[in-house]
Amino acid sequence: MITEIKGYVKVSRKAFTKVTALIVALAIMCAVTAFAASPSFYVDIYDGNEITRVLTSKSDPKTIVSQAGVKLDDRDKLDSTGFTAGEDSALRIYRSATVSFTDIEGNTIYTVFAGTVQDLLEELDVTLSDGQLITYPLDTVLKDGMDVRVTNSYDVSVTADGTTNSFTMGEGTVRDALNRIGVTLGDDDEVSPELDAMVCDLIGAFLDDLAAGENPGVVVAIEDAASNRYLAALDEDGEEACLEAATNFISEHKMGLKDEGLGRIVRYAIGYTGCVEIDGGYHDALLVSFFETTLESGFSAYVLYEGMGAGDGFMWSDPEPAGEETPLI
């Protein structure tokens, strides 16, 4: 029974209990409904080599990144293609980098951009035509100092040490060789200036000898961690025998050459002459194998040449990659 008293409603205790129970039930239902509408989920934020996991109920990617304490600069790019609100998913941050880009005509621009090589090409409205290559795999993340170039390509077959491999290659340098092979090198897994210098020195000296009409045979260059270098030339037993002797020399002396003041070997290069097949024709080439302990694999490259003994008329190409090799140390 309900009796109105001065604008209030008087309810029996029994009725009041039922009303309270109803209110409590409704409150619980509303709380559950509200909770279900905003569930928490995990988001992995990839930022270079770092991964930050955050538990969130937010739906805006930038808000989630801020919640995780990760800072974004104005030119950084937040990629949310792997993100779905309400589900365990991921976000990826591309940091802005200063890079250069050279088109097929040789025109170079410098830009600050965040993303992959593919993203850069799309931003610059560049489409690769048939017969053209880029100096990095398209999914390579841009980093400061990268030189992205469009080059003409051609098919080659490289024959070395009894093995023939076929590749589609373009113009470039020794450092570009690793890029085109498709090897992803991390911050602690890259070609050092010391290895680059040693390989370039070996190629330069070898080409000078060929220009003068001399073939030094198989040349071995080894260095320790202090960049102490030792060179050896093998040319008395035929190319195959000399090449085998060179590989054995490196394997047997990986702990160094005490008499020569050389510590444990950390990098090496082997150079020798051979030939490569390009478009059905064979061409003289300088072949180079090289490795450094910071790399997971050894690599090989080649340099085309013609006019041996022609002096100033001697001609050579830029180095091109020839594949991966098993390290000797």
Residue-wise pLDDT tens digits, 119-176: 999 999 998 887 787 878 888 899 998 889 887 765 555 544 455 555 555 555 445 5
Residues 250 and 287 in one domain: yes
Q: Which pLDDT belongs to residue 14? A: 44
Residues 208 and 85 in one domain: no
- Mean model confidence pLDDT for the chain: 79
Residues 197 and 85 in one domain: no
Q: Does 30 have pLDDT greater than 60?
A: no
Q: Does 15 have pLDDT greater than 70?
A: no
- Give residue-wise pLDDT tens across range 248-284: 999 898 898 888 888 999 999 999 998 887 777 788 8
Residue 63 lies in a domain: yes
Residues 225 and 267 in one domain: yes
State pTM to two decimals. 0.47
Residue 142 lies in a domain: no
In this prediction, residue 183 has a pLDDT band, given cuts at 50, 70 and 90, of very low
In this prediction, residue 49 has a pLDDT band, given cuts at 50, 70 and 90, of confident
User: Mean pLDDT: which of 17-21, 165-169, 291-295 is highest?
Assistant: 291-295
Residue 132 lies in a domain: no
Residues 274 and 302 in one domain: yes
- Specify the number of domains making up the chain: 3
89-94 and 77-79: which strand pairing? antiparallel
Q: Which pLDDT belongs to residue 20? A: 41
Residues 210 and 272 in one domain: yes
Residues 202 and 90 in one domain: no
Residue 317 lies in a domain: yes
Q: Does 31 have pLDDT greater than 90?
A: no
Q: Does 12 have pLDDT greater than 70?
A: no
Residue 181 lies in a domain: no
Residue 201 lies in a domain: yes
Residues 90 and 11 in one domain: no
Structure-model confidence comparison of residues 135 and 180, the more confident one: 135
Mean pLDDT, range 278-295, rounded to an integer:
85
Structure-model confidence comparison of residues 183 and 284, the more confident one: 284
Structural domain boundaries, residue 217: 193-325
Q: Which pLDDT belongs to residue 171? A: 52
Residues 210 and 290 in one domain: yes
Q: Which pLDDT belongs to residue 167? A: 57
Mean pLDDT, range 216-234, rounded to an integer:
90
Residue 226 lies in a domain: yes
What percentage of the chain exceeds 70 in pLDDT? 76
Joined tokens for residue 16: 């009041």
Q: Which residues neighbour 36 within 8 Å (Cβ) at sequence distance 6 or greater? A: none
Residue 123 lies in a domain: no
